[in-house]
Amino acid sequence: MKIIIGSDHGGYDLKLEIIEHLKTRGFEVIDVGSDSDASTDYPIYAKKLTDILTEYITANNIDYDALGILVCGTGIGMSMAANKVEGIRAALCHDTFSAEATREHNNANVLCMGARVIGPGLALKVVDTFIDTPFSKDERHVRRISMYS
Ligand code: RB5
């Protein structure tokens, strides 16, 4: 599976820890920036990530094997920006229950987290839960997701 990841300055340090963890697990990781903890604008990186993920979804239709992770200070701005893009279902999760549920029920394709909200230990568990949980493909969830737009 391909993991596309991005952050602003607020999420930069946590992003580096997540990348290290994902590489240890053997995932291919694409980092869209930012490249430092210098102040920047989070929508730039939400856009870069969703551009790549959208291309990947379009090319591979339903069976795309890619997910996104966006980290800012709160995760809120990233989730708002990412959810403006058609085909993107970004979920703000700071606990493993939500991460599991949003993959099973909402088929979320982007995980958003706030580095000023969550510590790295729990963040990595949230990441693992999000990546390791498949969409249930239950008819009622497919129907509800189709009602988003
Ligand atoms: C940056 O200070 C902060 O606003 C940003 O990281 C994020 O929390 C926005 O939602």
* CA 10 / ligand 1 centre spacing (Å): 6
What pLDDT, on the 0 to 100 scale, is given for residue 58?
Answer: 87
What pLDDT, on the 0 to 100 scale, is given for residue 49?
Answer: 98
Please state the atom number of ligand 1 nearest to the C-alpha of residue 72: 6
What are the tens digits of pLDDT across the range 78-100?
999 999 999 999 999 999 999 99
Contact predicate 42/8, CB 8 Å:
yes
pTM here is 0.97
Q: d(Cα 36, Cα 125) in Å, to the nearest integer?
A: 24
Contact predicate 75/112, CB 8 Å:
yes
* CA 80 / ligand 1 centre spacing (Å): 11
- What is the best residue among 13, 39, 40, 42 to mutate for testing ligand 1's pocket, by most ligand atoms within 8 Å of CB? 42
